[in-house]
């Protein structure tokens, strides 16, 4: 049996790590070093999460669920809407960091942290389960090949090791 979403779930572990860093830095926004660290995490979020991880879900997994219709389509559409919310929050945080608007940063970080936690939980426990059940083995193999090709075509965004090194430097 082919596990279509295993790599995406592994990526969720990395994204959860990013989110945990945000939680820690949110507690002391008056420290300029923490604002710089948040900026680096947003860089990872903008590049790796939004331009690689989310794109893989949106291009290769969600279309199958949408074509299936019903609850699967509803969930896939909700996940894509949440992707847009996450992107908007990331953009708003970038702007707020540039202006050092601490109150806005605090609220937007809370919003981002909350949606990332719930989003990952829902994808891992519900959406990906639907994908594993409703996509046949031949299609899974095709999708995995397409995802691998996408990663090869987008190394600047899909190199998790590069972003892990950036995250490790924040410790």
pLDDT of 171 strictly over 80 = no
For 76-135, the pLDDT digits (tens) are 999 999 999 999 999 999 999 988 888 999 999 999 999 999 999 999 999 999 999 999
Helices (H), the chain: 6-26, 32-44, 54-56, 62-68, 70-99, 102-122, 128-134, 137-153, 155-158, 160-169
Confidence category of residue 72, pLDDT binned at 50, 70, 90: very high
Report the alpha-carbon angle 14-150-55, nearest 5.
55
pTM of the model: 0.94
Identify the pLDDT of residue 40. Answer: 96
Average pLDDT for 63-79: 95
Confidence category of residue 63, pLDDT binned at 50, 70, 90: very high
Identify the pLDDT of residue 1. Answer: 82
In 3D space, the residue among 57, 19, 37, 17 whose CA is nearest the CA of residue 158 turns out to be: 57
Share of the chain above pLDDT 90, in %: 91
For 4-32, the pLDDT digits (tens) are 999 999 999 999 999 999 999 999 898 88
């Amino acid at each position: 049996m082919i596990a279509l979403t295993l790599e995406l779930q592994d990526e969720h572990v990395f994204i959860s790590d990013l989110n945990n860093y945000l939680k820690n830095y949110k507690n002391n926004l008056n420290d300029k070093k923490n604002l710089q660290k948040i900026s680096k995490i947003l860089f990872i979020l903008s590049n790796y999460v939004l331009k690689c991880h989310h794109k893989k879900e949106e291009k290769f997994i969600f279309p199958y669920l949408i074509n299936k219709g019903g609850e699967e389509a509803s969930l896939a559409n909700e996940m894509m809407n949440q992707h847009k919310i996450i992107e908007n929050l990331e953009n708003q945080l970038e702007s707020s960091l540039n202006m050092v608007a601490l109150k806005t940063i605090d609220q937007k970080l809370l919003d981002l942290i909350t949606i990332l936690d719930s989003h990952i939980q829902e994808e891992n426990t519900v959406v990906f389960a639907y994908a594993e059940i409703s996509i046949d083995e031949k299609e899974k193999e095709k999708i995995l090949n397409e995802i691998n090709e996408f990663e090869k075509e987008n190394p600047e965004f899909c190199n998790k090791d590069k972003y892990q090194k950036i995250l490790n430097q924040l410790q």
